[in-house]
Amino acid sequence: MATGDTVLTDESLIARADGLGIALTVPWYRSLWLSSVSGIAVAVDGQAVPTESLQVELAGRTYSVAELPEQWDTLWFIQDRLVVVVPLDEPVAEGQDVDVEVTVDLRLPYMQIAPMTYVTNHAVNRRTLAAR
């Protein structure tokens, strides 16, 4: 299933005082536990953002990317947007166009192929979006 092009939507880029937010859709056809997210990578205008500086917001809670594999009791529902917060020295202005590339790696917990080994989904999406 090709799901990489579904990660970003026209409304994904969010102007924030601390940089920008990128609202992601689940790159799969069904809801998954947040612990299924094994990695998130972001590039803004061609510059990779260090993963350790990213924060993730879902359902009123904030996590580091490193904390996601421990969130076995939190569901990322199809209708929810996981917001990746990217700190920037100069915040993005509303209406500003920004080139963003997001990579989301998922571990699919119901598709075990060996002991403690699961099918993965590597979803990459790059778009130029206007901040809202």
pLDDT at residue number 1? 46
Residue in 28, 15, 43 with CA at minimum distance from that of residue 105 = 28
> pLDDT, tens digit, for every residue of 87-122?
999 999 999 999 999 999 998 878 878 888 877 889
Angle, CA 46 vertex, CA 44 and CA 47 arms, to 5° = 70
pTM of the model: 0.92
Q: Which domain holds residue 19?
A: 4-131
Residues of the chain with pLDDT under 70: 1-4
H helix and E strand count, the chain = 0, 11
Report the domain count for the chain: 1
pLDDT at residue number 66? 97
